[in-house]
Structure 1
Amino acid sequence: MESSGVRPQSFGQTEINWDKLDKKKFYVVGAGLFTGITVALYPVSVVKTRLQVASKDIADRNAFSVARSILRSDGVAGLYRGFGTVITGAVPARIIFLTALETTKVAAFRMVEPLKLSEPSQAAIANGIAGMMGSLCAQAVYVPIDVISQKLMVQGYSGYATYNGGLDVFRRIIKADGVRGLYRGFGLSVITYSPSSAVWWASYGSSQRLFWRLLGYGGEHKEVPSLGEILGVQAAGGVVAGATASCITTPLDTIKTRLQVQALGQENRQNAVQVVKKLLSDEGWIGLYRGLGPRFFSMSAWGTSMILAYEYLKRLCAKED
């Protein structure tokens, strides 16, 4: 889904440049599409978060048992704890991310073109730089939303406090820690999500080209791929990207989540090093991979759904020549 003037020889006809998009339509329709995807996949985030913060005595519970427990105690609504907060911040964060992603990608492709690298290598570098920059720009909006929503996701679970909605969480955080409390774990969020985004987009860009070559669209091949082939390659690239990113960044995500859900006003709150030491002491290295299954599924499903919706969005919002 590259947007630069540097187009792959084999499937350039399928790509839509950033300057060819109707930006207003792109943002409005995109907000609706990505809201729908968030609704579908949000419960996985709730389950993943609860697994990551569970106390030692219930650490052996798996994703399915956590989901069943939520449904028994709170019904379907329990799987959407904190959703209102997330969706409020997700739209501006997504707009910031996509704008930074696409504009940076153009510059990154121009930067790597003189290096004369292979197409997969160029795609990995350019997409990786763009993904990291997009994530960095979006964190200023996303981290406070993440802090509030995760406290709602785990409220009443494994000894965590209960709240009366997102505004209640916001007021308590400001009262206990000031604005700084909304950015608890910001450094780790940047360290987690920026490399995760870079790895995701780099894996997606390079694997996409490898799949095209496997389908015989390399070299001088000029035939335009079918819609089915385009969707298949994009979906496969999303799965590969999700698998790669989740395996690399889950330990950082686990640490970040534990930092963000600590009790407000609690003295001697743990820092990142103490969180790591406790996890290693209680469970060994496997403790750092709490929630890997749901995180892998979430990143793969979200990535695949997002990339298919994103490519469809770009086709839908392309300006007529």
Structure 2
Amino acid sequence: MAASSLGQTTEINWDKLDKTKFYVVGAGIFTGVTVALYPMSVIKTRLQVATKDTVEKSASSVIRGILKTDGIPGLYRGFGTVVTAAIPTRIIFLTALETTKAAAFKMVEPFKFSEPSQAALANGIAGMSASLCSQAVFVPIDVISQKLMVQGYSGHEKYNGGLDVARKIIRTDGIRGFYRGFGLSVMTYSPSSAVWWASYGSSQRVIWRLLGQGTDREGAAPSESTIMLVQATGGIIAGATASCITTPLDTIKTRLQVMSLERRSSARQVVKSLIKDDGWTGFYRGLGPRFFSMSAWGTTMILAYEYLKRLCAKDE
């Protein structure tokens, strides 16, 4: 099977999708995935904002603490806010991702790079562009949801839901309060998205070659289970790569976003505090949950996403 034939077998381009079906069915699928994996975000966020005096400093202790005080609902603090905004954010992200990826592949094709390199560049450009386009919607939701995730934890203020958070942010900071850590958010999520999609795109090509696919010789098309296994493996590799590279910036961003007006610090002060309390390892607080979260989110999301594309492909 030739490389181009393999690409046509395992990938469905943007122009081949029924867009209405893609958005409607996708909203349901991604909401379900968010329900399943959201608790990992809560645990990761709490670990990142923990101070040196906080008793709960491991993922297991955070889980026990949440279940003891709030039960299962405690693992879903801020979920309503996130799921409400997830649909428009996801639409913006996926539209930008697919349209940019198609253009990026055409842009890098004349350079005659290897197929994994072409996939890494095109997917990386698309991932970064999609993240940049969706940040304007995502960052305010991120700020509100993270404040809800850590309320009452390690001295953080308590709220009566997302609207209460929004009112207090406007009262103290105005609209700009919703964009606290926006620069760091862009610096975190855009490279993270670029690394994730670049790793995913290139690792798939490498795996296919290791399996004997993507060569010039003819052969049977891979089964759907094989395709899903390769995609899942690519998702795990991408999640591991992105989490290791971007966790320090994510820790700083999270701390800035959850601070109250009275405890406000600059990014430089947050860095100094982390080094003072835990040394350089402080920047990797929550790495375990973030690694698991990004790998689980990435693998589940990509399988759901690729399944959604197959489901919404136009009949030839």
Same-fold call, TM cutoff 0.5: yes
Letter of the structure 2 residue corresponding to residue 250 of structure 1: T
Deviation at 1:60, TM superposition (A): 6.8
Deviations 1:76-115 (A, max 9, x none): 0000000000001111000000000000001100000000
> Is the aligned partner of 1:38 residue 2:34?
yes
**1:131-280 to 2 correspondences below 5 Å:** 131-222=127-218, 223-263=220-260, 265-266=261-262, 269-280=264-275
Q: Distance in 1 between matches of 2:102 and 2:57?
A: 45
Q: Percent identity?
A: 74
In structure 2, relative to structure 1, the CA distance for the partners of 1:59 and 1:138 (3 Å cut) is farther
What is the one-letter code of the residue matched to 2:259? Answer: Q
Query: Separation in 2 of the partners of 1:292 and 1:135?
Result: 21
Hey, what's the Cα distance between the residues in 1 that align with 2:28 and 2:36? 13
Confirm or deny: 8 A CA contact 1:131 1:200 kept in the other structure.
yes
Amino acid across the alignment from 1:236:
T
RMSD: 1.1
TM-score normalised by structure 1 residue count? 0.96
Structure 2: 5+ residue stretches without partners: none
Match of 1:288 among 274, 280, 283: 283
- Tell me how far 1:218 sits from its aligned partner: 2.5
CA distance in 2, matches of 1:29, 1:10: 26
What letter is aligned with 2:152? G
Partner of 1:108: 104
Secondary structure of the structure 2 residue equivalent to 1:218? coil
Match runs of 1:62-77 below 5 Å: 62-77=58-73
Please list every run of 5 or more consecutive structure 1 residues that lacks an aligned counterpart in the other structure: 1-6
- Paired residues of 2:56 and 2:65 also in contact (CA < 8 A): no
Matched residue SS, 1:10 = helix
| Equivalent-residue separation in structure 2 for 1:59 and 1:192 (angstroms) | 28
Deviation sequence 1:263-319 (CA, Å, 0-9, x none)? 1x326x211111001101111000000000000001000000011001110011011
Structure 1 ranges of 4+ moved more than 6 A: none
Distance 2:55 2:66 in 1: 16
User: Matched residues in 2 for 1:48 and 1:124: separation?
Assistant: 28
Describe the SS at the equivalent of 2:53. Answer: helix
What is the deviation of 1:53? 0.2
| Rounded Cα–Cα distance in structure 2 between residues aligned with 1:10 and 1:317 | 20
- 222-231 or 185-194, larger mean C-alpha shift: 222-231
- Secondary structure of residue in 1 paired with 2:6: coil
Q: Report deviation, 1:16.
A: 1.2
- CA change 1:59–1:129 in 2 (3 A) is farther
Q: Structure 1 residues 183-192 or 14-23, which shifts more?
A: 14-23
